[in-house]
Structure 1
């Protein structure tokens, strides 16, 4: 803009003095503001043992530095320079020491705002890059000193939409406006009588350019935001336990991100499959190991699990519930490891005292499972283990629960456990035929067993008697 104005040497020196004095004012004011901005961060770096509060405050302040830099540019930086410059220019123009129209001061301020906008954009992105090692250091300090990871918390101080919008507008409009102002000065200095006509079409060009900048920024934002939102939704699905692949419909760097995400999902699925197999094997092994104490009850827990799942399928329980039911049934007698062998393996009839000890195994089993970690995974299995000997009429044990007060798994497993006990051989008796066992269960509906689940089991077994008989022989 200076190159378009005819300035004498003494006027150039005077303008240089204005700029130098304004720069001093700006740097003094900006240094104060910048010191206040970095004070929480500085305190963390100067302290060998910063508190968790100081670390959290400095971590948050570091994240805010890019947007604070924008405020600093439009605050002390812009006005710390412009106000002194405008004031001194106004004085010199009024004293005829500078031969410029007074409205040049206003135009110069407008140009300063434009330059400050571009400066702020550049400062923002440079600051965003510069703060990264600081954030890593603070996060490492919080982990090492207090075992707290700040990176698990999301921090959004300025949206992508605003970054794209403001950047596109300033980048698109900045050169046009400066060129328009410079041309205005050239026409004014050359006394070319075209200013009115010039601004009539210049304004149209500027308006159209602004509209294109807005629309371009809108398209660019949505082009970037859509795949980001897709990945964000996908990550929320993963947090809820839903491992879902995403369709790759992109032709830019986001294609790599989607591909990486899908590879991550594949890895998680493989890991979950292996973990599930290991866990299932563990439950089955525990059940078989427990049954191995008594050769006459070998396979009992596995069969009870099969019968329980069969009843659950007839009741149309969902797959997740059926899986939990099967695991609970596999471990339903785990408490018997706390029963003495001379009682558990006794051939003859148990005394009342011995039977009372046997009756403690559901509580022992629930206590054992309550100690297994992670606790949240075991909590769903405990009700079936603890209450599979409760009776529907309230005469069971360990708590004498009545009717539907008995947990679902307990009511289902009670039917399955009783049926297998009746149809399996024991040292003191031969296993009874399937139809006789079913008749006993039918007679005990509503008293010993839940009538709904007992009837579902009876109906299935009678409709599939031959299949049930073959499965029983195979299990035994």
Structure 2
């Protein structure tokens, strides 16, 4: 029942869509062909009353021919759209219908300028030429060429009107296809950043058509009228009219170009800012506009502010999550309480002293907080043993970097944890290659691992253990200094040692 109701609603939207297309076409036809045929032609041509009937017959035959051609091409253009509303339409059929609906405004322009124009003009020209030959019409034969040009101008005006009317008419149909794809296939249909017709040619062509076609049409009508009234005046007519048309075209082009640039500028800035956001950089747009774009930019900046607030909250929550994990890990052993937090602070300090970015410092801190997370997988009898460890027990302890990496690999989203893995796995590697778990040496060891190794060693040496008291900071720093280039990275160890020695008076001594 629900499916039947959905199909009925889709068909209702489709019927409304067809009705709008037909209405738009008739509006364009009435505003162009019939208005020109009824208002301009009689006022321009001085012909016998009987000839009007023959011209009306020509117009009627041409309209029938045009209607037949329109119907053929229109059905061809909406065929895939009609297939898209069928109850059993597949995703590919829906996608084709969606794309075809987007193309419909351009197809409308093609239909009016080619089959519409040719199916109207060719019968009209042939019938008029025959009637002139038979003496049924008496006006000059040159008027046929003028009429052909006039018909082309009128078709251009009609195509421009129908383009924008069709652009508005297709929107409900596009929304319906998107809803169908989402409901039936859980897929979102979109244009994939594909622009069928960009703003620049749309505005330039429309502006030129609006500014020049009526003037050209007037010039043709004036040409006929002046030729009938005053032959002498007519001799210099096209030199004068051509100058006016040239000035008008230049003015219209510049105006359309300036309007286009005025609209493209904020759109381009918003698009660039959205790309920045897509790359993870929250960027606001300078609001220097005094039209509706000012509201749009203000709304965009409000959205960015909300995203910044949300990101701060998410970052704070994530940091709290890491700290909670570190504290929970350290709580297993009262002698290592606070170890992960201190290692994180020391590691972050090394990164800051080396001029690393805020993003890199955040990764260093998180990785250092979780560097011993693998110890969760080690039994208490081994981890909390107060005496000397056996070789087998020490091998279990040495497995904690790999265990930690495997634990973090199970956490979603994986892309958040991925930058932390090198530090967790490699913080017990030695610069001389004698560390574990991979026996890496020198620059082979990830930067995170080399930084955390220095911080971890310093905190381990200065902290109390069941089997020994913590060393004095000065002694631990001397050991780090002596081990530069062998156990620890020479650069990171030196930076840390030099900085901490300057702080020695404020560092609590062993036994204090």
Q: In the alignment, which residue of structure 1 is the partner of 2:109?
A: 70
Q: Does 1:128 align with 2:178?
A: no
Measure how far apart 1:188 and its partner are. Answer: 2.9
Q: In the alignment, which residue of structure 2 is the partner of 1:22?
A: 62
Q: In the alignment, which residue of structure 2 is the partner of 1:38?
A: 78
Kindly indicate whether the alpha-carbon contact (under 8 Å) linking 1:63 and 1:155 is maintained by their aligned counterparts in 2.
no
- From 413, 433, 437, the counterpart of 1:374: 413
Measure how far apart 1:450 and its partner are. Answer: 1.5
Kindly indicate whether the alpha-carbon contact (under 8 Å) linking 2:65 and 2:123 is maintained by their aligned counterparts in 1.
yes
**C-alpha distance after superposition, 1:95-144 (max 9, x if no partner):** 11111111111111111111111111111001111111111111222222
Instruction: Name the count of aligned residue pairs.
Output: 472
**C-alpha distance after superposition, 1:167-221 (max 9, x if no partner):** 1111112222222222222223335531123333222211111111111111111
Q: In the alignment, which residue of structure 1 is the partner of 2:128?
A: 89
- From 461, 465, 483, the counterpart of 1:444: 483
Q: In the alignment, which residue of structure 2 is the partner of 1:173?
A: 212
**C-alpha distance after superposition, 1:416-440 (max 9, x if no partner):** 1111011001122111111111122
Q: In the alignment, which residue of structure 2 is the partner of 1:257?
A: 296
Measure how far apart 1:296 and its partner are. Answer: 1.0
Kindly indicate whether the alpha-carbon contact (under 8 Å) linking 1:187 and 1:193 is maintained by their aligned counterparts in 2.
no
Q: In the alignment, which residue of structure 1 is the partner of 2:42?
A: 2
Kindly indicate whether the alpha-carbon contact (under 8 Å) linking 1:4 and 1:189 is maintained by their aligned counterparts in 2.
no
Q: Does 1:149 align with 2:152?
A: no
For 1:57 and 1:452, locate their aligned partners in 2 and report how far apart those are by CA, in whole Å: 60
- From 463, 469, 472, the counterpart of 1:424: 463
Consecutive unaligned residues of structure 2, counting only runs of 5 or more, are 1-40
Q: Equivalent residues in 2 for 1:176-255 (5 A)?
A: 176-191=215-230, 193-255=232-294
Instruction: Provide the secondary structure at the position in 2 that maps to 1:203.
Output: helix
Kindly indicate whether the alpha-carbon contact (under 8 Å) linking 1:308 and 1:416 is maintained by their aligned counterparts in 2.
yes
Q: In the alignment, which residue of structure 1 is the partner of 2:149?
A: 110
Q: Does 1:13 align with 2:83?
A: no
- From 401, 409, 412, the counterpart of 2:448: 409
Q: Does 1:294 align with 2:333?
A: yes
Q: Does 1:325 align with 2:369?
A: no
Which TM-score applies when normalising by structure 1? Answer: 0.96
For 1:316 and 1:152, locate their aligned partners in 2 and report how far apart those are by CA, in whole Å: 43
For 1:21 and 1:469, locate their aligned partners in 2 and report how far apart those are by CA, in whole Å: 105
Q: In the alignment, which residue of structure 2 is the partner of 1:314?
A: 353
Runs of at least 4 residues off by over 4 Å:
none
For 2:455 and 2:336, locate their aligned partners in 1 and report how far apart those are by CA, in whole Å: 14
Kindly indicate whether the alpha-carbon contact (under 8 Å) linking 1:394 and 1:402 is maintained by their aligned counterparts in 2.
yes
**C-alpha distance after superposition, 1:26-76 (max 9, x if no partner):** 111111111111111111112x23222222222211111111111111011
- From 113, 122, 137, the counterpart of 2:176: 137
For 1:198 and 1:461, locate their aligned partners in 2 and report how far apart those are by CA, in whole Å: 93
